[in-house]
Structure 1
Amino acid sequence: MENLIIVSKEKWDSIPSDYKGKWIDYNNEHPELLGKRTVLSGCISKKIGTLLIESVHFVIK
């Protein structure tokens, strides 16, 4: 869990809902991620074009 991106609650709240959501596991491939928050990478990092998952790629403090 090293290299997690730390996102403040204020920053998270400022991201438009079109760019963030919750993990939906249609094929039941990753049930452990069900309900985790997700965000497009460009909203919280310099990397663009990746879906980031809470507790895998970032945490909100």
Structure 2
Amino acid sequence: MERTYQVPAIKCDGCATTIRQALGTVPGVEAVEVSIERKTVAVRYDPARVEEARLRAALAGAGFPAK
């Protein structure tokens, strides 16, 4: 399953790296794509292993809450 989030706080490559690292540690996350230009984060994940709320929590915990 894939989910795309609007994340207004994305400003630079450092932000993108932080987001990739935060989501990459969540079991069940298969891929993370960050667009600095569009301020979006696309996450491909296995819904049998992780709930969508956990993805939002990981983003918020890294300082990048999703809209």
- Greater helix fraction, Structure 1 or Structure 2: 2
TM-score, with normalisation over the residues of structure 1?
A: 0.28
TM-score, with normalisation over the residues of structure 2?
A: 0.26
Structure having the higher Rg: 1
